Amino acid sequence: MNRYFLYLVLINMFINAIIFVPSILIKYSFNGAVASVILSIPYGILMTYLYSKALTKFPEQGLPEILADSKHKLLSNLHMGFIQLAYFTAGLITLLGFLDILSRFVNPEEPRLFLLIIYLAAIFLVIGMPTERIMYFVEIILFFSVPFLGFIVFKAYTGEELSWDSILEVTTYTFEWPNLKAFAAATYVFSGYVNLIIFNRVIKGKLKIWNYLFVLFVGIFNLFTTFMIPIGYHGADGAKEYLFPWISTADSLRLVYSPIERVIFLFLMLYMGITLVSVSVHWHAALELLKGTFGKKATEKKKWLVIAAFIIISIFSVYQINTIRLNKITEYWMIVRLVVETIFVVSFYIWARRKTT
């Protein structure tokens, strides 16, 4: 299996397991969320296969290199510019969501601006690195995080407070008509493959069938855990009362003989690193696409202007977008993302086949 590909998929699955996806799925648990989750699985695997298959036609190349010899420069630049915006907003939404979590559960008296500055300083140190070094950084974070997260999930599944009756109650709504917002949220769990738009540079060789089987089984497990475990701990109706159901679920777990008894503190410490990696991956991709649009030398000269723009937009968003507004924006953003991603993947797959035949 290609480990770099799996890292990109895992980071996306991990970060979406706590911030927005659980609350959206639980919100529509009686109104089509179960059917939406089931349908998202074949959709996610199909999109992963089509996009990765198309990129095998361009080994060790990102989108800027693929479009470098395009005869339609204006169209290719507009194309990359639109994707830059998508990547930047994806990273920004993740950052704002986790800052809200830190502000609520770690230190409510700490100004969010201070937390934002700390994160931005770390992110800007990372995103300017070469693509391969960023993958090394991702590997290190996952190496330390996955065992502990696996243990926390194990504790969640084996906890005495987990009510399987509540989970079974929700499954009785399987045949409710799928909900678009729930479907968009569920499919976002599989969207880590899109990061190949830049990180295909470090992918050696073709992806084997085992990579897709890994995405399939881990995706199913991730969706079930993300959606059903909070319901098992808080009830089908009770879970809807929480803005961040998985954070509240982690707070329900205890490690009686551990130096840190409350799991939520360990959980949040692990997700500090995962959030840093997730936002860095998105913004590194946006920066690399910017270099592909305006040229590497021109972008390097104006790098500080790009960073300044990132900082200004982030600060403005922290002050202007509260939790409720962020949740509403994210719901509609995910629908737009679903439509754009589908069109992009299908059109790129068709274009790649025609270009290489």
Delineate the domains of the chain, giving CATH numbers in brackets: 3-355 (1.20.1740)
pTM of the complete model: 0.92
Look at residues 105, 99, 128, 5 and name the one whose alpha carbon lies nearest to residue 55. Answer: 5
pLDDT of res. 16: 85
Question: Rounded to 5 degrees, what are φ and ψ at 17?
Answer: -75, -15
Q: Which position has the token pair 């499954």?
A: 171
Q: Cα–Cα distance between 231 and 242 in angstroms, integer?
A: 11
Report the C-alpha gap between 311 and 294 in whole angstroms. Answer: 20
Amino acid at 85: L
- Ordered per-residue pLDDT tens for the chain, 357 residues: 578 899 999 999 999 888 889 999 999 999 999 999 999 999 999 999 999 998 888 888 888 888 777 666 667 777 777 888 889 999 999 999 999 888 888 878 888 888 899 999 999 888 888 888 999 999 999 999 999 999 999 989 988 888 999 999 999 999 999 999 999 999 999 999 999 999 988 888 788 888 899 999 999 999 999 999 999 999 888 888 888 888 888 888 887 777 777 788 888 888 999 999 999 999 999 888 888 776 666 566 677 788 888 899 999 998 888 888 998 999 999 999 999 999 989 988 998 888 765
Q: Are 191 and 341 in contact (CB under 8 A)?
A: yes
Cβ–Cβ contacts within 10 Å for residue 86, how many? 21
**Alpha carbon of 245 to those of 22, 85, 164, 227: distances in Å?**
7, 29, 17, 9
What does the pLDDT read at residue 351? Answer: 86
**Closest to 166 measured CA to CA, from 36, 26, 262:** 26
Other Cβ atoms less than 10 A from the Cβ of 158: the count is 8
pLDDT at 295: 65
| CB-side neighbour CA atoms (13 Å) of 334 | 25
The 8-class DSSP code of residue 177 comes to P
In contact, 25 and 167? CB cutoff 8 Å: no
